[in-house]
Amino acid sequence: MSVRIRVLTYLTALTGIALAVAGSTAFAIERARLDNEIGTDLTLRADDLHTLVAEGDPVTGATFVDAESILREAMRRVVASPTESAVALLAGEARFVPGGDEILRLETDDALLAAATDAATSGTVAVQSLTTEQADYRFLAVPIADATGAVQGVMVYAADHGAIMSALVDTFEVYVVVALISLAAIAVFGYVTVGRLLEPIRLLDQTARRISTTDLSDRIPIVGNDDLARLSETVNQMLDRIERAFSDQSQLLDDASHELRTPLTIVRNRLELLEPRDSEAVVAARDELLDEVTRMSRLVDDLVTLAKADRPEFLRLAPVDLAELTDVALSRASQLGPRIWTTEAIAEGVVEADAERLTQAWLQLSANAVRFSEPGTAITLGSEVRVTVDGVPEFRLWVRDEGIGIAHEDIERIRSRFGRVDTRVDGTGLGLPIVTAIAEAHEGRLDIESTPGRGSTFSIVAPAYAPRHEEPAPASPWDDPAAEGARA
């Protein structure tokens, strides 16, 4: 069954059970109350009869002289109805009956009269049950005895229990009909409501069926403003990421194939034209081919770094001393080229970060500064910890050069993979994308400020999260050869 049918089945079943339990409980309580009222009423009638006998004739005040007088006076006080009545018996025969039309006629039910006589003879004065062909009774027989204790007459009070309960049954039959109609209405309303609630899931299923590897542009329509609507928004965001990932992957493959095709073509042509007997040509070809292989290796390494950027294991977070990080970065950057290397500021503090990746990014920016500046010019490194307007602390690592600068319209181009402004300068065009990936992996960004002809400033900005544990930072995480920084 579909989710809609299952939910509707559960809803209808629970509602039906609740209505049945509520109705049955109410019926049982009401039935017990009526039984109690019948018994109480019959007992009060017997008490009134005993009071009458004790007080005597209400007219003369004299003591009753015989049972007939008592029964006559007691019958005068009976108000009969279709469900309750009385009969006075003398010598086992009905002597007095209440007047009125459409009342319960006890005197016509011989089985009741016989049972009442037996009860009075045995001295049982209690409410009893009796079912005859005429009715289902609750009755009480009060014996009237003389001074010797011999029973001279019997006053019988009875109620038609079946008739009284039939009214209750009729009421609950109406309840059952109303409950069934309500249950049907709940089922119809629930079917429509559950369908509307599950509409985002249906749209999600349809959209997922339409999406393929060749078309990831379809999105789920947002219906309503509830948890399922937020689920649709989350899935749409996931689809956006998947589409970007597929697009980046496709672009990466296209760019990589383009970048690798040239050196491979050079290698192939050089090998085809190589004269094995010419030793000088072999040596020259070897050097040239090694340069091309080195270039391809560097390109493959950069592509692998970018491919890992979205993985959780891309970063190895640990406490990082920003002052030590700055000193190490300056020391290693100064070996990249003959420039005037200085530090503008050194941050104090320890943050949760990946020292290896930050050093790699920082040296990549330094290598770019060397590549696009003249020997003898100044390149400045710096670090700081600052607080944003929102009160969030963040750290900033920057490289400032006095190079050729970048035009404003070219800044976005150099951020993209294989994007280069000057193709005459050696490089793969993956340096800044790698720096951007490292910054974003630290939940940060890469800021670029540049003025053509005056130089550029590249800044890595990320939240300054405090270490999650108090372990000391590694003494020299940058000493690991695997932590080699930017590549030429």
- Average pLDDT of span 246-250: 73
Parse the chain into domains and list their residue ranges: 3-167, 240-308, 314-483
pLDDT classification of 401: cutoffs 50, 70, 90:
very high
Distance (Å, whole) CA 283 – CA 294: 16
The reply to whether 3-167 and 314-483 are identical in fold is no
> Is residue 314 over pLDDT 70?
yes
- Domain 314-483, CATH among 3.40.50.1370, 3.40.50.720, 3.30.565.10, 1.20.120.10: 3.30.565.10
Q: Tokens 């509520």 identify what position?
A: 22
Helices (H), 56-129: 67-76, 110-121
The confidence score (pLDDT) of residue 184 equals 93
How do residues 322-345 score in pLDDT, each as one tens digit?
999 999 999 999 988 899 999 999
Dihedral class, residue 394 (left if φ above 0, else alpha if ψ from -120 to 50, else beta): beta
Residue 8, SS3?
A: helix
CATH class of 240-308: mainly alpha
On whether the CB atoms of residues 154 and 143 are closer than 8 A, the answer is yes
Specify which residues 459 forms β-bridges with: 398, 447
State the Cα–Cα distance between residues 348 and 456, nearest whole angstrom: 25
Q: Which of 103-112, 222-231, 405-414 has the highest mean pLDDT?
A: 103-112
Instruction: Pick from 117-126, 252-261, 469-478 the range whose average pLDDT is largest.
Output: 117-126
Q: What is the overall mean pLDDT for the chain?
A: 83
Position 429 confidence tier, pLDDT thresholds 50, 70, 90: low
Q: Amino acid identity of 178?
A: V
Cα 362 from Cα 324, distance rounded (Å)? 13
In this predicted structure, the answer to whether residue 483 has a pLDDT above a threshold of 60 is no
Binning pLDDT at 50, 70 and 90, where does residue 346 land?
very high
The per-residue pLDDT for 294 is 77
CATH class assigned to 3-167: alpha beta
Residue range 110-156, pLDDT digits in tens:
999 999 988 888 877 788 999 999 999 999 999 987 766 677 889 99
With tokens 């990466």, the residue in question is: 252
Alpha carbon distances (Å) from 346 to 224, 364, 399, 400, 417 = 52, 19, 13, 14, 31
Mean pLDDT of all residues in 85-108: 89
pLDDT of residue 267: 76
Phi, psi torsion values for 392, nearest 5 degrees: -100, 125
β-partners of residue 319 are 352
CB-count exposure of residue 53 (10 Å: 0-12, 13-18, 19+): middle
Lowest mean pLDDT among 210-214, 297-301, 331-335, 389-393: 210-214
